[in-house]
Structure 1
Amino acid sequence: MRTPWLALFFGIPTLVVSATHSIPDKHPTKESSSDLICHDINCYSKHFVPTNEFQTIHDDQVVPPGLHYRLNVETGLKEAKINVASDSDDDHTGVVVIPNKDEEAAIIDSPKPIPRAPISPDGAIKPPLPSSAGEALAFSDSLEVLLKHSKYSTSEITHALLSLEDLVHEIYWGLQVSAPKYVSPLLTLVSNSPDPTIRSTAALVIGSALSNNPKALASATSDSSVKLIRTLLSSLEKETDNNAKARILYALNQAIKSPITRAEFLTRQGLQTLHQLFKNGDSEFIGKSAIVIEDNFLNEDMRSDAEVMKKQGGSTHFNPARDGIDERKFCSLFEDTLLESTEKGIDNDVQEKIFSALSALKRKHHGHAECKSTDDFLLWLDTQADLGGRLYGDVEGEGDQQLKLMAFDNRDLFP
């Protein structure tokens, strides 16, 4: 009878994959000296000899088929033992989570097909079922490259990062990569790698791991020695490659999804940095910047989070005179950018993002002197909001008219 999924525990994650039914010889012949592999004084058999206990597999060993593989995600070590009939069936894969290394692994059978349920009733994140043993081992290998990236080539590092990025969209893998021991080398690559592709991809891994994953964000910021916000901001300021800059901004956007990290962003003059970079950014960066500002500082949910933090004694107070630029400075910057959108080659999609953020600013700071519109902008807005005598529904059905409809809907916000 198969053990139910309720036997899972959340702790140091270890993944076990049942490969096949075949059982290797339990009593292999003795190896000759020519079959030994030696690194300095450390020697071991060229052929991995499985037993009934898990043993570490070295990367240059020949491994027989039909074993039980175990991957400790925290250490990155691959282990295997003899696969016996009670360990696996033809139709399923076994997954085990071990609270700590001293406890014995309990195999949990799961028939196919099984829907993924990443969150258990108690809120713990369950490990997903891997599509193959190779996927789990690729994850381990990629983490090893990340931890020792100075020993690997540019192409090897890039390959490892792309492999991680492909997996971390799963909240379980995103949580593993967001451990401080992995975030630290990722930030090093973002800030110091001479290759823009590596800088860009490392930032993408961080952003993807943190996206919609509050536990991952909490993990990434749990060690004060890992300067997540500070490093992303400084990297954003000095980045010269447009693609890398956009992805660092993406990572930063995901990193400031909690009241504490948003407060740090503000006190480190994050808005001032965005204000300056916005002026000289390309179309993609301008659009993403507008989204970052609206989502994190003008969104009602985010503002409510900050109020809760204040009531609980958290430090979220932002003093523009002390900590940098006031968000209201973006009113004139957004308006000027919209007026110059044709000359700057800004397409309708980006204009919509800017106008959406501008409208949110007007809504939040309605009537404030720093958000007073110029006559030139009001003339542009009136032109956009003019439906030409047509009905709203007719314009809406034409397509590619979102900016005009947004101007019509929000005209009253601009006195």
Structure 2
Amino acid sequence: MVRVSRPPGAARCRLLLPVLVLLLCGHIAAVAGHKSGSALTVVNTDGGVGGDEEEEGTVGDEEEEETVGADEDLDVFQPTEQWQTLKPGQALPAGSHVRLNLQTGQREVKLGEEQLKYRTPEHREKEEEEESRPSFSPDELKRAMKRMKEDLDPDLNPDLNPADPDPNPDHQDSAASRFRPLEELKQDMAELDLLVETDVQIMGRLLQQLNGSAATTEQRLSLLLELEYLVHQVDNAQTLCSMGGLDLILGGLNSSDFRLQESSAFVLGSALSSNPVVQVKAVESGALQTLLTTLVTAQPLHVKKKVLFALAALLRQFPYAQQHFVSHGGLQVLAELFQQDGGGILRTRIVTMLYDLITEKELMFQAGLDPVTDPAHEERRRQYSRVSLQGELGEKGWCSLVPQLLQSSEHDHREKALRALIAMAPACSDQYRLQPWLLDSLLALRLQYQDLVHSEMILGEENSYFSEIVELIDTLHVKLR
């Protein structure tokens, strides 16, 4: 139903009469055809709305279907809570309210009641953000992309030289102006009571404090912890040696405090790991003798674990140190430590280290490197040939010591022992046969691990860890025949 406020004057009534007749006919036709057409609220010439109440129409489904069915791209109008002018050719979403402003002759649109019902504050914030965001038409975006391609294409842009990363001197000046020199930054931070230090400066400061007599034991432990973090980097570990820090670390191994011995061994092992330069410096400084002496003396378990870590890092991939280790009674020192360890922790570490040394030498002689591409290969082979590790293991009683690790209840300990026994078989096979209990132990272990493998197969697990142990047992059993 359309309500019209009566404007003053006869002339104004004559103007509104034809419009009202047309609107009334349209409304009747819509009701007769059971269609949800667009009812309009008529606005008078004074800008007010006819009557105290308004009737807003709702854009029906039929109008939406006709608009969406067009082949061309649609300019969809997005209504809000306020009345807005609808431009010609714009499509409306279903449920929008429409009215006709008689003063301007334009249609005005806002959200319908159903749309307002489900409208949340998040929707309002999103609309405000989208309205404030600059919009670009598809043609403007296409032109911008085309200009970007032309600027980056050397064929289309002759001023662009591919060999020059930035041929524009003005751009270089602007880029350089965004960064400040390091000295200027240091000066600014110094004014703010901040200190910027490189790793070299930090290590120099730590070594100076570590060498000072005023530092307490707790402070020394903290300093060694910071050094251990830094020397993981190859360059820092080498710089530590050039600063004389290696002598301070070795001096910590001779300390009467077990905590300082442990921390010093930890720093030394981290610096030696995969660092040939530090390995050479350590051997020249007497690190091998210091480590062996520390293992011989009465030390707690946690100290010996860190010392073994440092010893293994010193010997790995260093045949010169391995030769001195064997000639200076290193295998005998490890044998005594092996017999003293009842828990099996040190035994496993020792056996693992021996296994690594044996396989390392075997891989060196199996590798078919070309001396032309690796000039140092022949020299390394010559140095490894001087290390008589297999023969010394047999003479120092290791052929009977390593099998004792099979009696451990830990699967990892047994695995390490089996691998070491297989690697030592060329020098110890005869002594293995003189130990009848060894064969019985292997048979008992094989039955045990076969049951474990069978249990895993029932659960659907294949290629398990226990099947690898069974293969190791079979390999060793073949070597004992």
Q: CA deviation at 1:290?
A: 0.5
Q: Which residue of 2 aligns with 1:406?
A: 472
How far off its partner does 1:399 sit?
5.0
Residue number in structure 2 paired with 1:295: 356
Equivalent position amino acid for 1:349 in 2: D
Q: Which amino acid aligns with 2:235?
A: Y
- 1 CA distance for matches of 2:454 and 2:191? 73
Q: Secondary structure at the match of 2:191?
A: coil
In structure 2, do the counterparts of structure 1 residues 156 and 379 end up closer, same or farther at CA, with 3 Å as the change threshold?
same
Match of 2:273 in 1: 211
Change in Cα spacing, 1:66 to 1:156, as seen in structure 2 (3 Å) is closer
- 1-side partners of 2:451 and 2:394: how far apart? 37
SS in 2 for 1:152: coil
Matched-pair identity in %:
22
Partner SS state of residue 365, structure 1? helix
Determine whether 1:193 maps to 2:255. yes
Residue 153 (structure 2) pairs with residue 64 (structure 1): no
Partner-residue secondary structure (3-state), 1:355: helix
Could you tell me how far apart the structure 2 residues matched to 1:283 and 1:389 are?
Answer: 23
Q: Which residue of 1 aligns with 2:96?
A: none
**1:278 aligned onto 2:338:** yes
Q: Structure 2: which amino acid aligns with 1:212?
A: S
User: CA separation in 2, counterparts of 1:169 and 1:310?
Assistant: 25
- Kindly indicate whether structure 1 or structure 2 has the higher relative contact order, using CA contacts under 8 Å at least 6 residues apart: 1
- Cα 1:180–1:238 change in 2 (3 A) is farther
In structure 1, runs of 5+ residues without a counterpart are 3-16, 25-49, 51-62, 77-136
Deviations 1:112-156 (A, max 9, x none): xxxxxxxxxxxxxxxxxxxxxxxxx3x33322233x154421111
Deviation at 1:270, TM superposition (A): 0.3
2:256 aligned counterpart, secondary structure: coil
Q: Give the distance between the partners of 1:271 and 1:180, measured in 2 at CA.
A: 33
Work out whether 1:350 is the aligned partner of 2:413: yes
Distance (whole Å) between structure 2 residues aligned to residue 273 and residue 188 of structure 1: 21
Q: Distance in 1 between matches of 2:351 and 2:260?
A: 26
Shift of residue 213 of structure 1? 1.6
The aligned counterpart of 1:231 is 290
Q: What do residues 286-339 of structure 1 show as CA deviations (whole Å, max 9, x unaligned)?
A: 111011111113431367799955875899354999xx7646721211113323
Q: 1:314 to 1:285 in 2, by over 3 A?
A: closer
Larger gyration radius, structure 1 or structure 2: 2
Between the two proteins, the alignment pairs up a number of residues equal to: 287
Unmatched 5+ stretches in structure 2: 1-163, 166-180, 368-375
* Equivalent residue, structure 1, for 2:440: 379
Cα distance in 1 between the residues matched to 2:228 and 2:183 = 25
Contact 1:175 1:215 in 2 (8 A): yes
Q: Which residue of 2 aligns with 1:159?
A: 222
Match of 1:241 in 2: 300
Equivalent residues of 2:393, 2:399 under 8 A apart: no
Write the distance in 2 (CA, Å) between the matches of 1:409 and 1:301. Answer: 19
The yes-or-no answer on 1:336 pairing with 2:404 is: yes
CA apart distance, 1:187 = 1.1
* Structure 1 CA distance for aligned equivalents of residues 358 and 400 of structure 2: 17
TM-score between the two structures when normalised by the length of structure 1:
0.59
Q: 2:326 aligned with 1:266, yes or no? A: yes
Q: What residue identity is the alignment partner of 2:191?
A: P
1:255–1:261 contact (8 Å) kept in structure 2: yes
Q: Which residue identity lines up with residue 386 of structure 2 in the other structure?
A: T
Contact 2:186 2:195 in 1 (8 A): no
Backbone CA RMSD of aligned residues: 3.8
The one-letter amino acid paired with 1:241 is: P
